[in-house]
Structure 1
């Protein structure tokens, strides 16, 4: 998969006709997969076309770019590559893009050889969200994916963010296309929670960790943060890996995939990994 930064103004170095999935894609969940299935079906019918997607670096709420997000762009790009996308266009929103006339959005798609657009039923674009699906249909073959619901509620990034705050790993992983994960660096098995990421509830979790292409198994402590000393505690998340024999370099990237919740942490007394946590973690992998 080729990845490009895009501002809707510059012409991308692509000559292929494109089937483009449009949206912000702060998360990648079962609702989004309805779009992706349509895009794959279109590509199967038109083998000369390539499958592309645009994703926002950060989400937008009430017309404002949010500092915090559910998933890192890099983690999302890993998932999109595995889903078979040929191109991903990463958009770093700014005032110019936010205030772009919807005609410019349409022109950007035409100029970059987009022939087919796949979107959700509530997709809007351009200044004040004046761009509609009907306006897209005047220029492109437009396919609209059905909404997916769980317990009569629309599956959305808002719902995923609520599950992150609750520490509901099982609930999240049932809705996400890949297990909840983030990328960080570790220093002697301590790591900082990734910057600008909505924080998982403090607790002990069962995880896989991918280091230098190898997968290891263990548990992690998401540290209890006190409002008075958040910066001091930011690095104090702990990773305990059962099958790692060496200490990784602190400059080495680590992909931590969350599998299950052992317990939540509500006070300082509970804020450490204990022998019972380790036993539960070991048994989890033995029984798999």
Structure 2
């Protein structure tokens, strides 16, 4: 069965089969989130229920607090992971001010009872309803026996709570390997290759300038990465920053030099998977010094991945 993607609009009717559902924003689908996923898979098998995953089209903070935010993954990346895990329903709440004003009771009626949810799985810190008045334990109190509830405890790794905010902080600090450990996989970005200044071509290191949209901004520097294009994986090095040696940019960029690759991929979508951080971005005395360092960076990345 192909996973069904449903954008849930308030006060509209949907005919879904009985399901066990994980609910949350799930930015990054990290190791903590995967414990909820595992519980959904377990309950689905035990109770012969459809596997459902419910999230929001934007982070609720963008509506509650009117603040911009960045993300660890796109909705498309969530979709790909859920389909690989065999989910039946991917339910996306169109979150707006009207939804934000729902009472906890109204939220439950609209998104659980009306959608034929028979079992809810959430994290210990899940909140819902107007001004987050509803907490995880309220789901049980307000169920009216329409559904069962499993609340998944905090998950720690190396005495640190696994959370999206912690992973974001690791990325801000350039601690990519710690971030990858909490994610349970390598952090990745999917973006379109856009035109830049073509300086890389001029110095023998052509780069794909990747539009990273609303992804989390990582610490400036050079990284060892994998680049994926047309289902093939290539070793590569990425620079995040302003390219100070070749005339500083006014906006941070992600530029990727793909090893043993010579194709025109402008306007194509590629995936960049971050493995480790090599060094800080810095301004060199001249272009020759930059080229010399880039050669060292490439050798270092190849050696580490050999």
Q: TM-score, normalised by structure 2?
A: 0.82
Which residue is 2:44 aligned to? 43
Contact 1:57 1:91 (8 Å CA) reproduced: yes
Report the CA distance shift for 1:187/1:194 in structure 2 as closer, same or farther (over 3 A): closer
Q: Give the match for residue 160 of structure 1.
A: 167
For structure 1, the residue ranges without an aligned partner over 5 or more in a row are none
Structure 2: tracts of 5 or more residues without a match: 196-206
Aligned to 1:275: 295
Moved more, 277-286 or 236-245: 236-245
In structure 1, distance between residues paired with 2:194 and 2:297: 22
Paired residues, what number? 279
Change (3 A) 1:165 1:123: same
Which residues of 2 match residues 128-207 of structure 1 at below 5 A?
128-137=131-140, 138=143, 139-187=146-194, 189-207=207-225
Corresponding residue number in structure 1 for 2:77: 75
- 1:217 offset after TM fit, Å? 1.6
Off by >6 Å, runs of 4+ in structure 1:
270-273
Question: RCO (CA 8 Å, sep 6+): is it higher in 1 or 2?
Answer: 1
1:7·1:97 contact (CA, 8 Å) conserved in 2? no
TM-superposition CA deviations, 1:34-58 (whole Å, max 9, x none) = 11111111012123x1111122333
Give how far 1:91 is off. 3.2
Range 123-132 or range 134-143, more displaced: 134-143
> Which deviates the most, 134-143 or 162-171?
134-143
Residue correspondence of structure 1 range 1-288 to structure 2 within 5 A: 1-12=3-14, 14-47=15-48, 49-61=49-61, 63-64=64-65, 66-71=67-72, 72-108=74-110, 109-137=112-140, 138=143, 139-187=146-194, 189-224=207-242, 232-234=250-252, 236-248=253-265, 250-265=266-281, 267-269=282-284, 274-286=294-306
Post-superposition offset of 1:66: 4.1
Deviations 1:51-82 (A, max 9, x none): 11122333344942542223222223222222
Q: Separation in 2 of the partners of 1:225 and 1:7?
A: 44
2: distance between equivalents of 1:278 and 1:116? Answer: 51
Q: CA deviation at 1:117?
A: 0.2
Answer whether contact 2:193 2:211 (CA < 8 A) is retained: no
Q: CA deviation at 1:8?
A: 4.3
Structure 1: distance between partners of 2:243 and 2:214: 15
Q: Please tell me whether the aligned partners of residues 240 and 254 of structure 2 are also in contact (alpha carbons under 8 angstroms).
A: yes
**1:231–1:54: structure 2 CA closer, same or farther, 3 Å change rule?**
farther
Shift of 1:92: 4.2
Q: Pick closer, same or farther for the CA change 1:269–1:231 going to 2, 3 Å.
A: closer
